[in-house]
Amino acid sequence: MVKQRPPDKPDQQDKLNQWRWVIALVFFFLLLYLWQNYSYKSQQQQIYTINYSTFLDQLDAGNIQSVVIQELTVTGQFKKEVRITPEGGKPVNIKSFKTFLPQFQGQGLMNELRSKNVAIDVKPKQKTSPLVDFLLGVLPWVLIIGVWVLLMRRTARQISGGPGGLFSFGESKARLFETGKTPAITFKDVAGMENAKRELREIIEFLKDPRKYQGMGAKVPKGLLLVGPPGTGKTLLARAVAGEAGTPFYSISASEFIEMFVGVGAARVRDLFKKAKATQPSIIFIDEIDAVGRTRGTGFGGGHDEREQTLNQLLGEMDGFEPHEAVIIMAATNRPDVLDPALLRPGRFDRHIVIDRPGLKERKAILAIHVRGKALEPDVDLEKVARGTPGMTGADLENLANEAALIAIRKDKKRIDMKDFDEARDILLMGAVREEAISGLEKRITAYHESGHTIVASELPGADPIHKVSIVPRGLAMGITQLLPEEDRHFYPRTYLLDKLAVALGGRVAEKIVFNDVSTGAQNDLKEATALAEKMVAQWGMSDKVGPINLGRGEEHPFLGRELAQPKRYSEGMAWLMDQEIRKLIEEAQDRAEKILLEKREDLDRLAGELVKEESLDREQIEKIIGQPRKRRAPGPQPK
């Protein structure tokens, strides 16, 4: 695994120095206070405090030799030792004493002392030393100024993001990964992605021996753009390239270029390329490059001066006047459609590597990596788990393996079994179980609704096979019918999509047949069916009346600016025709589902009854109730 060089910690060092100064200041004042009171306490070590009544008794007895009066405190000497018992101590004989006057006695006390021939000394109010007075006057201002300086320095570091305060705005925040100290991530640690690995082999060979290519006058791509959905392993693959080549790897997120001050992002880009050129051959990896690489001048969603200056500087560094032959720039994004065309042209990001969701074999290999170190039961079949997770990315599979381990721990198991993986998949796909009371009528409606989906799917040979049906509330759904394809698909024929429409509407049709009414439970089914029918008509050319044209209706626009700027490419008449075709597809699918359910009414009732009792049925149980499904056929038109 690539070991990250321990980053410098100037913030922690500064804080440590600041606390040292504070502790030293407090210690200084403590020593000053102890020194100030040392002489006084040393003189008063043998002086005991007596109560006022004892003082009057000894005065009447004429046993007081001298006194010193300072405000309401009286200290003095006895002529003869007096035996007293200090509070909490043993009886002692004392010669010196101290007591406190209840109030100012005035001339009366003086006359009484003089009548007993007591030597009297009167001292003014005790004053502190000039040094202490000065320090006490200055200390509040020192503390106020010190706190203000600390706050200003901290604010400057937060704004600049670096240890140098206001003078480090332009320093790059890229993290350097060195691959010579510990075993690095290589292609062996990355499951799947065989096509992407083949395309990257040439880059690795160039980084290992640049002279081989320079001698032939060949140029390798300056920039590689990794494109794929979130969680497919783009960052991991970039790290593996650095591990295979054994070169310095600078990693940074594109959002770290942007600051509140204009020009900081461009300065950080310059600093990043300066560091990479100093250690070439090297790799610069910019994650989520769409944060700074969006199309310029799009109005809504664009037009940020700081972002555009950063992008302009990046364009200049990638293909400017200064060559950087042995520096490869890699970037990752899941939004390639929003990137500026100047960033994607040859000479900058020359090569685009698509990292798609893993297939069956790749999912199995990824699972094998993520179950390392986990205790598994012998019944765990990773191939079966991989078949039940179509469309999941590497991050999803890692989450699946971890969730299965958590479920096993929750049940106090020693090992993870297949049921734990099944439950983990249900949680990820359908959500956690909701513990709530459901009325009997709602339970029957949900059972018939999910049974309708199941019966229609089992009767259509082109539909995906049933995996599980449940009426246990999970997430936002009251029930769910889970269909799992037997193999990964890369295209969807019209016959398959028509079957999918019929399955989606099967639940609503079942409610209508049994209860002669419909409920709001089909809201999500109708939404998905309408969106699918709209794409079939307006994007995929699957309507005879609209024709084989793409009108762009129903596209998922990546951000608001393009959606508003996108003109309609069809007339009002064409819009009306598309609406009619969409409605026709949905109504035909509804009629197909209704015909199937009327023919299989007995199976529908039996399946719904079992669902009410069991709440969840798997594929084998469903087949026992309604019989074997029709023989499956490959989707699409069949050969004659």
- CA trace torsion 534, 536, 540, 543 (10° rounding): -110
CB atoms within 10 A of CB 496: 19
- Which secondary-structure segment (H or E) carries 377? none
What are the residues whose beta carbons fall under 8 Å from the beta carbon of 620, sequence distance 6 or more? none
Taking the C-alpha atoms of residue 452 and residue 524, their distance in angstroms, rounded to an integer, is 15
Taking the C-alpha atoms of residue 505 and residue 521, their distance in angstroms, rounded to an integer, is 11
Q: Do β-strands 249-253 and 282-287 pair in parallel, antiparallel, or remain unpaired?
A: parallel
Contact 333, 227 (CB under 8 A): yes
Would you state the structure tokens that stand for residue 196, as one six-digit string? Answer: 């992407």
Taking the C-alpha atoms of residue 433 and residue 436, their distance in angstroms, rounded to an integer, is 9
What's the angle, vertex CA 336, arms to CA 563 and CA 289, rounded to 5?
Answer: 110
CB atoms within 10 A of CB 443: 17
> DSSP readout, 259-284?
-SSTTHHHHHHHHHHHHHHHT-SEEE
71 an active-site residue?
A: no
Amino acid letter, residue 465:
P
Taking the C-alpha atoms of residue 299 and residue 301, their distance in angstroms, rounded to an integer, is 6
Nearest to 46 by CA among 73, 70, 78, 71: 78
Q: Which of 256, 362, 398, 450 is catalytic?
A: 450
Contact 202, 223 (CB under 8 A): no
Write down the H helix ranges in 217-338. 234-245, 264-278, 290-293, 305-318
Would you state the structure tokens that stand for residue 568, as one six-digit string? Answer: 């309609």
Kindly list the catalytic residues.
Answer: 450
